[in-house]
Structure 1
Amino acid sequence: MNVPNRLTILRIILVPVFLLFMVPVFGDSTFSQFVLSDGGRVVATFLFIFASLTDLLDGLLARRMGLVSNFGKFLDPIADKLLVIAGFSAFVELGRVSSFVLMVIVAREFIVTGIRLVAAERGVVIAASWFGKIKAVVQMLTLIFLLIEPFITGSSYSTDAFSAAYVLFANIMIIATLVLTILSGLDYWFKNRVMLKDLVQNL
């Protein structure tokens, strides 16, 4: 197995580890208390940023070293989706993000994956759109901003006005994520509407 694919698998492995340090799942245990502390959030933030960097690195290595494979093409987007959905799921559990946002993200991924599967059956490969790429970057950045939010707003160096401004900025990023998720989904549908129309007519 080549290095890019190993990085992709590592990213998938890091997803449940990241969740363990984000959401307390062991009752009132010492570990759960650590998860709820600043230390737990620091570990979760480090894990998420590291996992996000492997996403950039595996694609870069695959292209520069000529190691692009069908296995990597299949697994890489799955790893990305798992990481993003895990991140937003954690913040829904913590009450920081609306479950509606998570529902839209999950629904979009199901729809786009379905369109790609239909296209693949017809021998058509659908490349990632610019909307999709921008959406992915904004989703990752939004999660990073949310992860470091307690350190910004809880810092003794942060004023009430700055803390409020940061929370507002994070909320705007959440809205941007929601809008781009919807637009990128519509973009996939619009570009492949003829193929989907033919499919429906042949049912």
Structure 2
Amino acid sequence: MNTANKITMIRVVLVPIFMVLFMIDNVMCHYAALGVFVLASITDAIDGHVARKYNQVTTFGKFVDPLADKVLTTAAFLILMYYDRMSVWALMIVLVREFAVAGIRLVAAGEGKVVAASMWGKLKTVTQMVAIIVAMLLLPIQNTFLGVHPKLISDILIWISVVFTIISGVDYIAKNWNLMEMK
């Protein structure tokens, strides 16, 4: 296993640690979980950089890296939904997009093609991670923060990430529509 794939696997291992820490009803544990989430998010940028720079792009990495991202963000979104900081509708939109893009990638792989991450997909991931980090930072705050309720700040950032999620999903579908033609 090369360095890039090891970094990706670190992200996979960090997901259950993140979840366990967050499910402990303690503010310090929540912030420790947030630290784990930030570390896991950073590994997303590092593994891709290492893979490209050192020519370590592998089929395993192409499969596990996006899967690790989805598991990490979905775990965080589920926690935010549990704490009433994310709408079930927002999560449903995110999940539909993720399943659609995963389906496109599977069909493409069946035809020997690779659907690489687009600029919109990367922007979607960044906006999701920023929204998650801010929402988790504000989670223990119950009163107004800078004159605004923390839930409203979380909602705005999450819905901004949902807009980018929709745009990236439409982009993937439009660019790969030919894969879905019935033959």
Both proteins in one fold, TM over 0.5? yes
1:13 is aligned to 13
RMSD over aligned Cα atoms: 1.8
1:162 is aligned to 146
Could you state the TM-score of these two structures normalised by the residue count of structure 1? 0.83
Give, in angstroms, the shift of residue 187 of structure 1: 1.1
Distance of 2:60 and 2:155 partners within structure 1: 36
Could you state the TM-score of these two structures normalised by the residue count of structure 2? 0.92
Does residue 139 of the first structure (1) align with residue 128 of the second (2)? yes
Matched residue count: 183
Does residue 51 of the first structure (1) align with residue 35 of the second (2)? no
Structure 2: where are the runs of 5+ without partners?
none
Distance of 1:170 and 1:95 partners within structure 2: 10
Distance of 1:160 and 1:101 partners within structure 2: 23
Structure 1's consecutive aligned runs of 4 or more residues displaced over 3 angstroms after TM superposition are 165-169
Distance of 1:195 and 1:161 partners within structure 2: 48
Distance of 1:18 and 1:150 partners within structure 2: 15
Q: Deviations over 1:154-187 (max 9, x none)?
A: 6xxxx94605165433321111111111121111
State which structure, 1 or 2, has the greater radius of gyration over its C-alpha atoms. Answer: 1
Give, in angstroms, the shift of residue 150 of structure 1: 3.6
Give, in angstroms, the shift of residue 89 of structure 1: 0.7
Matches of residues 177-192 of structure 1 in structure 2 within 5 Å? 177-192=161-176
1:27 is aligned to none
Structure 1: where are the runs of 5+ without partners?
24-34
Percentage of identical aligned residues:
39
Distance of 2:139 and 2:83 partners within structure 1: 12
Question: SS of the residue aligned with 1:67?
Answer: coil
1:29 is aligned to none
